[in-house]
Amino acid sequence: MLELQMLLVTEGLAPKLKAPARLAGELSLACDMEVYPRSIAGHGRVIYFLARSRYDRHLGLVYDALAVPPSAQDFEGTPETYDVQGVRVTVKLCPRSAANAAALRARLPFLVPRCMGLATSVGLGDRLGLATPGHVRAVAGSGLRPFFAQQSIREMTRTGRSPHEVLDDAMWGVFQEGFRDGFGSDADHLKTTEDIDACVAAGFTLFTIDPGAQVDDGADAAPAAQLPGKFAALPWDPLETTAADCRAAYAGKRVEVEAGLTLEATEADLLRAAAKYGRAIAHTVRLYRHLAERKGDQPFELEMSVDETASPTSPFEHWFVASELRRLGVRWVSLAPRFVGRFEKGVDYIGDLAAFEASFAQHAAIARALGPYKLSIHSGSDKFSIYPIAARCAGELVHVKTAGTSYVEALRAIARVAPELFREILDFACEHYEADRASYHVSAELGRVPRIAHLRDAELPGLLDQFDTREVLHVTYGSVLNAKRGDGSWRFREHLFDALRQNEEAYARVLESHLGRHIDPFRKG
């Protein structure tokens, strides 16, 4: 039976075609666009596919022209009738609108984000909305659970995207590549109930609570005489305990976490840990309960993150935070401590690897004992030296988050296909770096960025391997994407997006190679 006929008669979700290229070729001729072969899927007597024109991508539907399925009416688009493989069919080309995205998810369940559980996972943030095809290729066959939709509210604000747009962009990339193994969606670094509400409405599945503003970093180095006052001033009612009960639960208690790791906190240790993290715990509980109420009986996952703070999280502090969250009824799948060393954006780990391994192993033991839950490595982009350590110490209980590296690698692709545009972007980034670095922990110096005027075009992609250039480009993405000319037109955005769309294979190959280096140390089998 011809592939087209096979898909048109199916009432359920069709399996992947063994040889979709022929059908894709015939559909390409019919609609005068390039059809992505891996996107072809059938459901309820309709074939769905993604096609590209010179400037955009379009959703396509194919169905029997003489027996129109009711579901085809749920999509906005323009129908035309053709003969394909000897069958009279209607081909309906549709915009990639929010309404059509929702209708497609209702027909193809593999396009709906899901909870990922405790398996090793990787977050693949996409600041441009174009990276998912490359992300899919990097993760396919690795055994890792991917989060193809991952964006913080800060990133959404700077890129001018909504939570719905972040999810839809990832979904179209998954559809294009025909990835059917399941993916998650991470609403990252949420700080308010309003942030949560927006991401619940969009359909995110993992919610990363960031109570960093409530962490008292000063407590880490505060004189011992100040700690009792900080401790007494904690919000004990929201914490649903008393200062006396908290002292009795932890001070002087010896805990055998596992063989080789025993924790025994003095009263000073407890006062310091509670003063540092008490308000962050209360804030997390409040947001978690709000989230649980909003989600109702819908499944969701939670991560708690305190990585964007000045001082590392000690093993006892980790134990204290996790124990208090458990006492207060919070359920979570991953937790991001502030690890030792420096996790700067888009570059490798900076610090003593032996010290990191010793500390990470202790955190992994606590995560096994009090969970199990995954240790989440934030600012995880390009931390190649620590991935083997994390895999060795934590086994499967690891989640690695990447975000800006896919934007920086987009600029590597631009350096190859549009070198003059890359030169302009780098010059602009250098002008705005000092202002943009304020919200990041970075150490790049403009004086160490190579002078681009002295480089040939063929040398430009190599700049993305240079520490200072990489960080400068990483943290200035918001300024680059939002820069406008005097007449109000975009200075870079449209040219950048057009170049990446017209060279999408080049960008996908760059991402597949670069993100593959992140994934390989955790690859299963």
Residues acting as catalytic residues: 188, 303
CB-count exposure of residue 432 (10 Å: 0-12, 13-18, 19+): middle
Cβ burial of 370 (10 Å; 0-12, 13-18, 19+) is: middle
Q: How many CB atoms lie within 10 A of CB 65?
A: 16
Token code pair at residue 19: 């040889």
Q: Report the distance separating Cα 100 and Cα 114, nearest Å.
A: 20
Q: Which two tokens stand for residue 322?
A: 């996790």
The b/e string for 29-47 (b: 16+ C-beta within 10 A; e otherwise) is: ebbebbbbbbbbbbbbbbb
- Rounded to whole angstroms, how far apart are CA atoms 401 and 379? 6
Alpha-helix runs per DSSP H in 81-187? 98-107, 132-139, 153-159, 163-177
What letters, b where the CB count within 10 A reaches 16 and e where it falls short, cover 389-398?
bbbebbebbb
Which of these, 206, 20, 4, 211, lies nearest to 90 by C-alpha position? Answer: 4
- Helical spans, DSSP H, in 234-386: 236-239, 243-250, 267-295, 315-327, 353-370
Question: Alpha helices of 371-476 — where are they, by DSSP H?
Answer: 387-394, 404-417, 419-436, 467-475
Q: How many residues appear in the chain?
A: 525
d(CA 142, CA 140): 6
Please name the residues in contact with 120: beta carbons below 8 A apart, sequence gap of 6 or more: 143, 144, 145, 374, 391, 396, 397, 398, 399, 522, 524
Q: Is 257 left (phi over 0), alpha (psi -120 to 50) or beta?
A: alpha
* Contact between 419 and 457 (Cβ < 8 Å): yes
Alpha helix segments (H runs only) across 185-255: 193-202, 227-232, 236-239, 243-250
Helix (H) / strand (E) element for 186: namely: strand 184-190
Instruction: Cis check for the bond before 372: say yes or no (omega within 30 of 0).
Output: yes
Distance CA 223, CA 380 (A): 33
- Bridge partner residues of 150 (DSSP): 186
